[in-house]
Amino acid sequence: MTRIIALALALTLGGMAHASDGKAVDGAKAEEIKATLTEQGYEVRNIKTEDGMYEAYAIKDGVKYEIYLNEALEVVKTKQDN
């Protein structure tokens, strides 16, 4: 039931999740990013925008990462987060 509510909320707020610097990303775009990175083995903790790109904070194999994605949700840069 919780997943259904979360999905409905994500779809409703999808249009509000626009990439603008320094803001958290919510809604359908955040769910797409989480799904993409989860498939690659990451546990996504937070998503925001920075310098016109999506920036995801995630953990993989116990290591923290900052992952930058473009508008097409392609990973363009990955670095360890200190």
Q: In the prediction, which pLDDT does 8 show?
A: 53
Give SS3 for 81.
coil
Instruction: Name, in order, each residue with C-beta under 8 angstroms of 39's C-beta and a sequence gap of 6 or more.
Output: none
- Here the CATH number for the domain that contains residue 33 is 3.10.450
What residues in the chain have per-residue pLDDT under 70? Answer: 1-21
Our count of domains for the chain comes to: 1
Say if residues 19 and 43 touch (Cβ distance below 8 Å): no
What is the Rg, in whole angstroms, of the alpha carbon atoms belonging to the chain?
13
The whole domain housing 76 covers 2-80
Whole-structure pTM value: 0.69
Six-digit token string for 48:
């925001």
The pLDDT value given to residue 10: 55
